[in-house]
Amino acid sequence: MSEVEIKVFGLQRSGNNWLSLMLKRNYGNVRLMGNDEAGWKHGMYRVPQVLGRECHVIILSKEPYAWLPSIFKYRAGRHEASANFTQFLNGSSSVELYNLMYEHWLSAHLEEKKMVIVAYEVLLANPFLTCSGIAKHFGLEKKIKHFSTPNKHMKKNNTESKREFDSNFYLHRNYMSRFNAEQLNIINPRINWPLVKRLGHSMSMVGALA
C-alpha cells in the first residue's frame, strides 16, 4: 500500500479538521501533511519550498455568508474582534482575506500532483460521496468496511469534542438569519462572486433584507 501525501488548505473555521479526520479514519494509505511539514494550512502555498517536493492538494471552503459569522464568533471568543458583528464586518478585512487566500490557493501550479476543490456544504450534505471522490482521485484505499463520519464539534488537534454538531445550520442556510440589510450592504460589494463559483458554491448574492 503506497502512501499518498495530501495537504489540506482552507481558512480557519472552514472544516479542515473535520475533513482531515474523516480521511484519516477511513483510508489507510493517506498521509496528511502537517503545518511543520508542508506549511501552515491557513497560510500561503509553499509546499515545494517547505517539503522539498509536491504533494496532492485539497482546497476546502465555506461560502462567504456561512464563513463570516463563523470566523466572527471564533475571533470574538478569542478577543481578537469586536463583539459587534456589524463593527466586525466594517472594520475587518475578512472578506478581502477570503478573496485573497482562495485566489492564491487556486492559482497554485502543480506539475506532478493533483488538486481537488471541495465546497463545505457539498461535503456536509454527503460526506461519503465526497470523500469517495477524493479517494478515487488520489488513489486512497479504504481501511474500514463501513464509512465513518464524525458527528461532533472538532478540536484543534483533529479529534472530536463531546458537543453535538448541528449540520442543519449550514445545510438549511440558517446562518443567513445572522445578517440584516446593513450588514449585507457592507459585504456584498466586496465578495468576489466569480471566485465563489470557482470554489464550487451554488450560493449567489443575497440582496439586502427588507
Instruction: Give the model's pLDDT for residue 209.
Output: 47
Q: Could you tell me where the beta strands, DSSP code E, fall in the chain?
A: 4-9, 30-32, 56-61, 115-119, 152-154, 160-164
Instruction: Give the model's pLDDT for residue 111.
Output: 96
Tell me the mean pLDDT in the region 96-120: 98
pLDDT of 84 over the 60 cut:
yes
Give residues with Cβ within 8 angstroms of 187, minimum separation 6.
64, 68, 89, 95
- Report yes or no: 95 and 102 within 8 Å, Cβ to Cβ: no
Instruction: Give the model's pLDDT for residue 118.
Output: 98
Where do we find the cell 463559483?
197
Instruction: Give the model's pLDDT for residue 157.
Output: 67
Give residues with Cβ within 8 angstroms of 103, minimum separation 6.
192, 195
Range with the poorest average pLDDT among 26-40, 78-92, 155-169, 174-188? 155-169
**DSSP code of residue 104:** H
Tell me the mean pLDDT in the region 148-170: 79
State how far the Cα of 34 lies from the Cα of 43, in Å rounded to an integer.
12
pLDDT of 106 over the 80 cut:
yes
The more confident residue out of 83 and 46 is 46
Helix axis angle for 94-106 and 64-77, nearest 10°, is 120
Tell me the mean pLDDT in the region 104-113: 97
Instruction: Give the model's pLDDT for residue 22.
Output: 96
- Rounded to 5 degrees, what are φ and ψ at 180? -110, 180
pLDDT of 173 over the 80 cut:
yes
Instruction: Give the model's pLDDT for residue 195.
Output: 98
Instruction: Give the model's pLDDT for residue 166.
Output: 87
State how far the Cα of 156 lies from the Cα of 192, in Å rounded to an integer.
29
How far is CA 40 from each of CA 17, 45, 73, rounded to the nearest angstrom?
Answer: 13, 8, 22
Q: Could you tell me where the beta strands, DSSP code E, fall in 62-103?
A: none
SS3 at position 8: strand
* Among the four given CATH numbers 3.40.50.300, 3.40.50.970, 3.40.630.30, 3.30.420.40, the one describing domain 4-198: 3.40.50.300
Average pLDDT of the chain is: 93
Instruction: Give the model's pLDDT for residue 79.
Output: 76
Q: How confident is the model at residue 210 (pLDDT cuts 50, 70, 90)?
A: very low
Q: How confident is the model over 113-138, as pLDDT tens digits?
A: 999 999 999 999 999 999 999 999 99
